[in-house]
């Protein structure tokens, strides 16, 4: 039994129900037990009362793509440090990619991660499991055992399966277990030695480009195989306008097809690379401004379902190299929400659309009870000051790595408090 918590004087914003109304929420034993809109809530004896002072009370964010160094590369990120970074950014649950050492391709490793995360992480860690052994794209793992151990979805993380026949077999197998199949769409053969978006800017910098077909060719394949096999398919992250066209058509025929977008591709474009700034080297690469604007429209129209951080900690040794040699990846757990709120403040997107893509839609895709403010739902909640001004400073980041693509960026909007299971795990300190 835990002490009841009452959050009062809040602006309750819940995309799952369409709520945007002043009110209060009562939490008992880690779940929401009462919601009052413009009315009083009975307060149990000894309850902790939190005055929201008109701030937005929203479901905690669910990030569908987070890389963690543990096990194997704890110097980049541990479950503990990732959890601290997550709750500081309002992320109460995150899907951990299987790209670790060893790879998460065995039920014993899934079990270890769940137990380790429960002991170490302030946020809920949702382990994914590898589609293929060792992420090699050659042999399918034991999906049933991995699901039974607690894996929430299947993915080869930063790797993309190149074999059409193996991919079809894997999708059919995953459909039998009704597991989400999250795939990074990337054609290695078409990519060659490309390192950034193909176009004039790449030519000016003297760097080899990655064409849009590197993404659209495997995406078209995946969508056709997903329809044929009936799998719950999720395109991990898209970056081009042409991908939206493919997705729109596929979704008109297949209700099980969904797609996500990285906050990096949503906020930044190829010009941000400037003079070979390697912290902006990500996968998929930052595309043209036209592609970026198309992605925003894709969110507005519902073609894109989720926004994620693509949090990928890398140490300076592998990032501070010549651009072509530097590793892909940028951290993003702590800046995900604030960066997404840029579109609310610019009137490109409304608050419900932005929050929906980071709360209830990921929850629906993964089959979670969280992501909503409703009676009986887990009390994973955040209080947001939408107008709080701040600047991203590398020295203030909680993550063990510092490879942020938003260093020095001025933000408006910040998480003031994060609750996981009704327990306050983060409060902002000025």
Residues 316-345 pLDDT 10s: 899 999 999 999 999 999 999 999 999 999
Residue 419: phi, psi to the nearest 5? -120, 135
Asked if 59 contacts 51 with a C-beta cutoff of 8 angstroms, the reply is no
Q: Give the rounded distance of the alpha carbon of 27 from its chain centre.
A: 26
The Cα angle at residue 350 between residues 348 and 353, in degrees rounded to 5: 110
pLDDT at 38 (0 to 100): 78
Q: Name the band, by pLDDT with cuts 50, 70 and 90, for residue 1.
A: low
Question: Which is catalytic among the residues 187, 310, 380, 385?
Answer: 310
Asked if 95 contacts 67 with a C-beta cutoff of 8 angstroms, the reply is no
Q: Name the band, by pLDDT with cuts 50, 70 and 90, for residue 234.
A: very high
% the chain with pLDDT above 70: 99
**Which CATH fold topology does 59-366 show?**
TIM Barrel (3.20.20)
Which element (helix H / strand E) includes 22?
strand 19-28
pLDDT at 177 (0 to 100): 97
Residues 129-169 pLDDT 10s: 999 999 999 999 999 999 999 999 999 999 999 999 999 99
pLDDT at 430 (0 to 100): 81
99 is catalytic: no
Both tokens of 136, joined, read: 């090699």
Residues 369-425 pLDDT 10s: 999 999 999 999 999 999 999 999 999 999 999 999 999 999 999 999 999 999 999
Q: Which residue has the higher pLDDT, 347 or 45?
A: 347
Residue 309, CA distances (Å) to 47, 67, 264, 266, 421 in order: 35, 10, 7, 10, 22
Residues 10-42 pLDDT 10s: 999 999 999 999 999 999 999 999 999 976 677
pLDDT at 40 (0 to 100): 67
Q: Give the mean pLDDT of the chain.
A: 97
Residue 257 CA to residue 231 CA, distance in Å, equals 8
Closest CA to 77 of 309, 241, 313: 313
% the chain with pLDDT above 90: 96
Burial string for 131-165 (b: 16+ CB within 10 Å, else e) reads bbeebebeebbebeebbebebbbbbbbbbbbeeee
Residues 267-318 pLDDT 10s: 999 999 999 999 999 999 999 999 999 999 999 999 999 999 999 999 989 9
């Amino acid at each position: 039994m835990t002490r009841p918590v009452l959050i009062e004087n809040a602006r309750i914003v819940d995309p799952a129900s369409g709520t945007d109304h002043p009110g209060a929420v009562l939490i008992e034993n880690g779940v929401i037990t009462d919601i009052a809109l413009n009315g009083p809530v009975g307060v149990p004896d000894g309850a902790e009362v939190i005055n929201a002072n008109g701030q937005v009370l929203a479901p905690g964010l669910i990030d569908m793509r987070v890389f963690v160094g543990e096990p194997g590369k704890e110097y980049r990120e541990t479950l503990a440090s990732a959890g601290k970074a997550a709750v500081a950014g309002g992320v109460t649950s995150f899907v951990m990619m299987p790209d670790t050492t060893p790879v998460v391709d065995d039920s014993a490793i899934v079990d270890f991660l769940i137990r380790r995360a429960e002991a170490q992480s302030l946020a809920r860690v949702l382990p994914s499991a590898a589609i293929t052994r060792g992420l090699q794209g050659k042999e399918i793992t034991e999906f049933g055992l991995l699901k039974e151990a607690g894996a929430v979805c299947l993915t080869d993380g930063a790797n993309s399966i190149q074999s059409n026949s193996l991919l079809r077999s894997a999708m059919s197998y995953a459909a039998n277990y009704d597991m989400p199949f999250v795939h990074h769409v990337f054609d290695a053969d078409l990519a060659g030695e490309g390192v950034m978006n193909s176009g004039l800017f790449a030519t000016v910098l003297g760097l080899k480009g990655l064409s849009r077909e590197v993404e659209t060719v495997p995406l078209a394949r995946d969508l056709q195989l997903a329809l044929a096999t009936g799998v719950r398919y999720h395109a991990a992250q898209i970056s081009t306008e042409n991908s939206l066209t493919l997705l729109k058509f596929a979704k008109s025929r297949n209700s099980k097809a969904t797609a996500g977008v990285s906050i990096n591709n949503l906020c930044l474009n190829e010009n941000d690379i400037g003079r070979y700034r390697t912290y902006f080297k990500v996968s998929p690469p930052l595309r043209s401004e036209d592609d970026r604007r198309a992605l925003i429209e894709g969110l507005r129209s519902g073609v894109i379902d989720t926004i994620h951080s693509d949090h990928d900690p890398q140490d300076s040794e592998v990032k501070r190299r010549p651009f072509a040699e530097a590793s892909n990846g940028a951290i993003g757990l702590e800046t995900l929400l604030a960066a997404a709120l840029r579109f609310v403040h610019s009137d490109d997107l409304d608050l419900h659309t932005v929050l929906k893509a980071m709360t209830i839609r990921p929850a629906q895709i993964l089959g979670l009870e969280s992501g909503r403010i409703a009676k009986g739902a887990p009390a994973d909640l955040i209080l947001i000051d939408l107008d709080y001004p701040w600047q991203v400073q590398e020295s203030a980041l909680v993550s063990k790595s510092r490879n942020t693509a938003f260093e020095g960026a001025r933000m408006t909007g910040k998480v003031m408090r994060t609750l996981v299971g009704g327990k306050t795990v983060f409060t902002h300190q000025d």
